[in-house]
Amino acid sequence: MSAPLRLMAVHAHPDDESSKGAATMARYVAEGVDVLVCTLTGGERGSILNPKMDRPEILANMAEVRRQEMERAREILGVSQRFMGFVDSGLPEDENEPLPEGCFAVQPLEVAAAPLVAAVREFRPQVILTYDDDGGYPHPDHIMTNRVSVEAFEAAGDPDRYPGTGDPWQPLKLYYHMGFSKERFEALHEAMTERDMGSPYAEWISRWEDRPQKWPVTTRVPCASYFETRDLALMAHATQVDPDGFWFVCPRELQMEIWPTEDFHLARSLVDTEPPEEDLFAGIEGAAPAKSGTPAGCDERTQASVVN
């Protein structure tokens, strides 16, 4: 018996899906896996980070502009995408500054998680991607995204929790994005320095806290062939990404040579798997790629048939 492979990526804002795990998603799409991006907020309070797009009419229509950018990125990556309906919390300049009333990060956990639980139960992914408990960086929406993702992973399979959000479905693996590691940036910095390219990473590395990595990399997914797709999706978020800026200083060909993977930490697993992994679906037996539909005789209301 087999079940379609499905991957869900949970993100805080439009553009996060293109800067974190985009090449991995594009690879799995090409291999026939169904991929769904769940975007928890609309990015309404985002700043214009690309000076070429810093125009009053864009800032006045930020929510709609970012939805249009998300649609373009979605098409480039080949994924499905849904907004979960919450309002961007913004990034306070002062950590003591109160967050806006009604924004995503101040929602009770049960309220914030309910739409994602419903999406998990409807889409039925075996694997979920999200941020670590520091949010990848300490944006309040990113931290809340971790909390909501963990809650959905743990609750979606329990028929007694979140009534009215669909039949229970238990995901099998939960991963944290680990793309912004010191090890990766040191490798790119060294390669650029050796080639006299002038590295942009020296100051960043010098400010990195010298401590053990909280969440070690367990899984490195080879996806260099999809770095161009990743970059095109990222540039689709034109208000957020300057094509002449930091993201693209290191040549893509050098990235493909020096660090041809996207990296993750396996935070939860209900299947047997042995790190290091090269596949997010490692250990998920009896599953074969399929675009849609349920194989004959397979009851998809729970994951029991896949686990056992």
For residues 93 and 104, give the distance between their C-alpha atoms in angstroms, rounded to a whole number: 17
* 117 in Cβ contact with 152 (< 8 Å): yes
Query: Among 79, 93, 60, 92, which Cα is nearest to 14's?
Result: 79
For residues 89 and 226, give the distance between their C-alpha atoms in angstroms, rounded to a whole number: 32
Residue 163, burial from CB neighbour count under 10 angstroms (0-12, 13-18, 19+): exposed
Q: Please report the DSSP string for 58-103 in residue order.
A: HHHTHHHHHHHHHHHHHHHHT-EEEEEEEPP----SSTTSPPPTT-
Residue 290, burial from CB neighbour count under 10 angstroms (0-12, 13-18, 19+): middle
Q: Is 16 labelled as part of a ligand binding site?
A: yes
Packing angle between helix 227-236 and helix 62-77, nearest 10 degrees? 160
Give Cβ neighbours of residue 60 (< 8 Å, ≥ 6 apart). Answer: none
Q: List the beta bridge partners of residue 219.
A: 264, 277
Distance, CA of 175 to chain centre: 9
Give Cβ neighbours of residue 154 (< 8 Å, ≥ 6 apart). Answer: 268
Q: Which residues are annotated as a binding site for Zn(2+)?
A: 13, 16, 142
Q: Which residues are annotated as a binding site?
A: 13, 16, 142
